Amino acid sequence: MPTPFQFHLDATDGQARAGRFTTPHGELLTPVFAPVGTQATVKALTPAQLEEIGASLVLANTYHLYLRPGDELVAQMGGLHEFMGWPRPILTDSGGYQVFSLAERRQIDEDGVTFRSHIDGSSHHFTPEKVTAIQENLGADIIMALDECAEPYNREYNQLATARTSAWAERCLKAQKRDDQALFGIVQGGVFPDLRAQSAEFIASLGFPGHAIGGLSVGETKEEMHQMLKVVLPVLPEGKPRYLMGVGTPEDLVNAVKQGIDIFDCVLPTRLGRNKAVFLRGGERLNLRNVAFADDPNPIDEACKCYTCRHFSRAYLRHLIVAKEMLAATLLSIHNLHTLIQLATDMRQAIIKGRFEQFAQPWTGS
Amino acid sequence: MPTPFQFHLDATDGQARAGRFTTPHGELLTPVFAPVGTQATVKALTPAQLEEIGASLVLANTYHLYLRPGDELVAQMGGLHEFMGWPRPILTDSGGYQVFSLAERRQIDEDGVTFRSHIDGSSHHFTPEKVTAIQENLGADIIMALDECAEPYNREYNQLATARTSAWAERCLKAQKRDDQALFGIVQGGVFPDLRAQSAEFIASLGFPGHAIGGLSVGETKEEMHQMLKVVLPVLPEGKPRYLMGVGTPEDLVNAVKQGIDIFDCVLPTRLGRNKAVFLRGGERLNLRNVAFADDPNPIDEACKCYTCRHFSRAYLRHLIVAKEMLAATLLSIHNLHTLIQLATDMRQAIIKGRFEQFAQPWTGS
């Protein structure tokens, strides 16, 4: 059948790629960074503010929305785009990561995973078929296969989890009924190059329209993360988008794009914003609660074009923080998201101009 | 000296007035409702969102800003407009009301009031001269004389407080140094018609560019509030703006405009918004946490043109409330403020068209 999903490479520079991924809710220009809207809202921001920041893709969490307000309610309200007032592309994860990190008393077997809700302790069962159906109710443009995210250094567990992730990927593909959602397969394997390579080979063989790399940025070192990308990326087909889940910092983004990653998401910019910290362009962080900023008339970053930096001083932002005003979280989140989204845009331009190495040098040190 | 403050009546209809008050930061079309930005921020909203709502005047609290971040810091940062990123007119209160309602262990004498900060217990002294100087540091367009807000039913205390408010009004006028701020005098007198009339006559005699009525909506009945307006308003000069402090509900606004009030402020719309309640157009309130709204696909108010009603269902808003998302406070505050600001705009149009009685009938019942 004809697919609404086309991935076109506008340019490459070394392994770095400037792509274009068409979805039913518009085109994603890659590299792209997706703000996280866990509960169908990017915390403290309206969709209008997200558009002004330049966000094109938003991630929402299947585990959270399944528990509250329920995927069937979201479907009844017209799907996630309509429900949360976000007309552009949305990606939902499979819920796997949250089940393994948030839920209580989880029990995993070949069929799936039984867990208790972190909200009310109620018991639930996720299978590949179930999370596919939930994501079809939610109606995102990009949906994810159920995977098992193991502790990165436990080889035995990673062998088992990678095998289950492979079997579940096949079952998700079979379970998919809607043809207007791109289902991505997920590569696991911890910090073990042979497991990562096996996982990537198997997942790539299944014919997904895109691939994700999971189980990174979960406790391993930066060097190990880069090493795993070096193993996995050459195995994944060039003509399909590649998504590095849950990453990350400005430095992580640049290093991963250098290796050929196209899509990112991370709670970091909004979580830091709620915790009073902001990115500077080079990746340094400031904690604006610091008394040194009490009478600082400058914006967070002189060169930044975000709403916050165009209108407010560090002194005002610190005042909002000290006075415990909600507006602090909003203004800091705007700045942090803008910084990562602008970085992705700048990387895209550098790739198109064939100057990515030069652009990346301050971060990659090479 | 030439004053930047001109008050022109575009139209009157009965006692209701459609006016135009010029200030250094732009013209106020009256009747006007001012959102409250206690700590130099209207809680949960950016200035851009306030502009989209149609806000023209914002109130900030002298007591709060004096304690934190300090009026001298605000002056050093270029004044309140620059500090909080609000380029339109600002009004600051005198701090009197907060000292009498918030501060601990206050001691009042003829000179002024000594109190302890509600934040850290530190001791402070407010005099008419001091609050005028603080408000000159803050730099609002409209500033208020120091007044004493007594319990409404205590006649003896109201006699004393009204006398002090009169003396302090004169001292504020003498203390004023800047000529780009309109200093308003405040009428007190509790629920006692003779005290109200005496206070209004004295304050009106001092030549302020505008007058406020304080000590209402503080525990008295609606009937008593209307009665006090009937006593006070005929005493105040027609050619100057009249401000009813701390009011109020849609019903209060309509009834007060009917009697000749031009300016209002109230925390109610934003406080209700943070407490999950919304106004409907007729003044009824809904608590959106109610389970009845869990699957309600309609906006808060079908006829409302605010950002919230144009984009979000009651079901989504209830989800945000139940999930404890900050966006709920933002979206509900937008709707509630829009409702009162639109009501003020609609009243102005009705006055200009000579149809105010008809417009007001559903609220005033007359």
SS (H, E, C) A58-109: EEECHHHHHHCCCHHHHHHCCCHHHHHCCCCCEEECCCHHHHHHCCEEEEEC
**Taking CA atoms, what residue in B is nearest to A328?**
B44
Clarify whether B265 is annotated catalytic. Answer: yes
Q: How many CB atoms lie within 10 A of CB B284?
A: 9
What mean pLDDT value characterizes chain A?
Answer: 96
B126 contacts B147 by C-beta, under 8 angstroms? no
Q: Do B327 and A43 touch (CB under 8 A)?
A: yes
DSSP, collapsed to helix, strand or coil, labels residue A255 as helix
Rounded to the nearest 10 degrees, the angle between the axes of helix A250-259 and helix A356-364 is: 130
Burial of A137 (0-12, 13-18, 19+ CB in 10 A): buried
**Taking CA atoms, what residue in B is nearest to A64?**
B323
Q: How many CB atoms lie within 10 A of CB B34?
A: 26
**Could you say which of A84, A315, A327 has the minimum Cβ distance to residue B44?**
A327
Tell me how far apart the alpha carbons of residues A269 and B257 are, in angstroms, rounded to a whole number. 47
Tell me how far apart the alpha carbons of residues A132 and B228 are, in angstroms, rounded to a whole number. 66
**Could you say which of A43, A83, A295 has the minimum Cβ distance to residue B325?**
A43
Burial of B72 (0-12, 13-18, 19+ CB in 10 A): middle
The token pair that represents A41 in the structure block: 């809202």
What amino acid is encoded at A208 in this protein? F
Phi, psi of A283 (to 5 degrees): 105, -10
Tell me how far apart the alpha carbons of residues B355 and B361 are, in angstroms, rounded to a whole number. 10
pLDDT at A201 over 80: yes
Clarify whether B346 is annotated catalytic. Answer: no
Put residue B139 in one of left, alpha, beta given phi > 0 → left and psi -120 to 50 → alpha: left
What amino acid is encoded at A118 in this protein? H
Q: Do B73 and A294 touch (CB under 8 A)?
A: yes
What confidence tens digit (pLDDT) does each residue in A111-157 have? 999 999 989 999 999 999 999 999 999 999 999 999 999 999 999 99
Phi, psi of B59 (to 5 degrees): -100, 140
pLDDT at A366 over 70: no
Put residue B228 in one of left, alpha, beta given phi > 0 → left and psi -120 to 50 → alpha: alpha
Q: pLDDT tens, position by position, for chain B (366 residues)?
A: 557 899 999 999 999 999 999 999 999 999 999 999 999 999 999 999 999 999 999 999 999 999 999 999 999 999 999 999 999 999 999 998 888 887 678 899 999 999 999 899 999 999 999 999 999 999 999 999 999 999 999 999 999 999 999 999 999 999 999 999 999 999 999 999 999 999 999 999 999 999 999 999 999 999 999 999 999 999 999 999 999 999 999 999 999 999 999 999 999 999 999 999 999 987 899 999 999 999 999 999 999 999 999 999 999 999 999 999 999 999 999 999 999 999 999 999 999 999 999 999 998 876
Q: Do A39 and B330 touch (CB under 8 A)?
A: no
Q: Which of A220, A186, A253 is nearest to A32 (CA)?
A: A253
Angle formed at CA B90 by CA B87 and CA B94, multiple of 5 degrees:
150
The token pair that represents A347 in the structure block: 């990387």
- The order of strands in the sheet holding A113-116 is A104-108, A113-116, A123-126
Concatenating the DSSP letter of every residue in A294-355 gives TT--S-S-TT--SHHHHH--HHHHHHHHHTT-THHHHHHHHHHHHHHHHHHHHHHHHHHTT-
End-to-end CA distance of chain A: 45
Burial of B142 (0-12, 13-18, 19+ CB in 10 A): buried
DSSP A186: E
Q: Residue holding tokens 């552009």?
A: A88
In what helix (H) or strand (E) does residue A114 lie, and over which residues does it extend?
strand A113-116
Please tell me the predicted confidence (pLDDT) of residue B310. 98
What confidence tens digit (pLDDT) does each residue in A45-102 have? 999 999 999 999 999 999 999 999 999 999 999 999 999 999 999 999 999 888 888 7
Q: Do A73 and B315 touch (CB under 8 A)?
A: yes
DSSP, collapsed to helix, strand or coil, labels residue B289 as coil
Q: How many CB atoms lie within 10 A of CB A122?
A: 9
What confidence tens digit (pLDDT) does each residue in A12-26 have? 999 999 999 999 999
Q: Do B326 and A326 touch (CB under 8 A)?
A: yes
**Could you say which of B48, B323, B327 has the minimum Cβ distance to residue A44?**
B327
Tell me how far apart the alpha carbons of residues B271 and B332 are, in angstroms, rounded to a whole number. 10
A43 contacts A328 by C-beta, under 8 angstroms? no
**Could you say which of B39, B316, B323 has the minimum Cβ distance to residue A325?**
B39
Burial of A154 (0-12, 13-18, 19+ CB in 10 A): middle
pLDDT at A2 over 80: no
DSSP B36: B
Q: Which residues of B touch A78 (CB under 8 A)?
A: 297
Tell me how far apart the alpha carbons of residues A242 and A212 are, in angstroms, rounded to a whole number. 6
For β-strands B16-23 and B7-13, DSSP reports them as antiparallel
Please tell me the predicted confidence (pLDDT) of residue A275. 95
- Which of B270, B293, B326, B335 is the best mutation test for A, with the most CBs of A within 10 A? B326
DSSP, collapsed to helix, strand or coil, labels residue B233 as helix
CA of A86 to nearest chain B CA: how many angstroms apart? 9
Residues A192-204 have a mean pLDDT of: 98
Rounded to the nearest 10 degrees, the angle between the axes of helix A128-138 and helix A155-175 is: 60
Tell me how far apart the alpha carbons of residues B51 and B53 are, in angstroms, rounded to a whole number. 5
Please tell me the predicted confidence (pLDDT) of residue B2. 59
